[in-house]
Structure 1
């Protein structure tokens, strides 16, 4: 009899079907760091979306056999410890291939066409006082003919490229930063920084990708470029980005993620009140349709494990 525990059920707005095998189910709206071991006591299957599962908690859970992550990212789970203990870890794949790219292009279009700045101009009465039928207070740039740089060539990166190509953009996939050679179909990382009119990040957060975009990388980008991050907040040095936007060294940025979530009040991006910066609260993935696909795949993963045919496994 499997004991299944969902640590943060309120993080998923979707119907969860009952797994088709004998089990007991417990869920909690949310779980704090100090509650992890207590909530998972006796569990054979742990479901977590964003609750961290670290060694100090995992070593108190001798019955645990599967960590079913209700997300694609795995940086909240100690994969090395799970692998050493024989605990399987499964994640969700390709559920957000429509919703995240749509969110990316919502931000790109708003920034390239200066939507927020024009909205403020109208609130300030500039059009009402204009001497002609239109208002030229803000620059507008077409997507057609521009260059879309993409960091990360997974399902989301490829989906963003397809949308960009539909708009007439030239898509470039960035090679790994600092790579000695460039693979076919990729462009050197620094060249993508120099050429991109829009740079969109779709990489996991690892020790190698933390602060992937910092002061030096922002300096290599065009002052007219836009940076989009719907992946992980730690990919970008947030203080460096805030300075670049405030000093006019970057045309705009759209972020759905921050380095700490929920964010601390002192995060430098929270203080930015600029018409060329859009911040959304980690919701690019969360269309109702995408969350239901995630929920269905989550139960699929658990059922496959119970059959002895685990799927979507991730290693250390």
Structure 2
């Protein structure tokens, strides 16, 4: 599990343990949290550290790798594209080469809906043209293309999972979302409800959407984790590389998210309007039929449940893993 101590990664680790697997987490903890994966073995290291990777891979046999380590902020990628191509592409090539050297046969890649760019059709199928509008999406698309050719040349198999908007927290309340700085909409909205922010910013109300704000497809992080387990099962059974969208096939606008959050927390949440952000498409909604058919994957959490589980986590952990309290 490369990047297994992060938000999605920690939920994937939990799902793998529940499915009977024995995940080993490899993470530099730059954005991940040791507390999120305390039930698993953790090796601290960088994806691009060839010597450390080689040492780890020589010490034991791994059936495969789930790769979630990446810089993932769209706005930051627009300002610092070099960071994204070094961290996401160059370092991953080191990882892939060392996996092949160690005869590790497959990787499950954390990818993104940002590979599509401005959609021509909605919901977006996997066959949709890939024209990223930001370096983050471009870096993930480059990894998908690299893996295609690594399969042709080396027989290195892969499944790329194109996440739409990961959200929510584990229903147990034990693990959840803790980023610094926080850029994801739902936790920002809930931080306003907790008094940690004065307001949530709505970036653009002039999009061609029903209420003018951007529309996104939100998928619960536990549903994402379940898809990773199913992807591993499929790779082991078929040895066939593929790519899948992971989304709910339902879109919600920024204003709708604020409205649902107000209902869940039972209080008003202040929002203010700002200009659009560069690189943000107006609508991203998944066509998830391929994952439903081939992975037998079906999202279990609706939007209200996503917000409710996120609220439970943020209410009890207002400062993330660094600060816990039982109630507010």
TM-score range normalised by the length of the shorter chain: 0.3 to 0.5
Larger Rg: 1
Write 1 or 2 for the structure with the bigger share of helix: 2
TM-score, length-normalised on structure 2?
A: 0.34
TM-score, length-normalised on structure 1?
A: 0.35
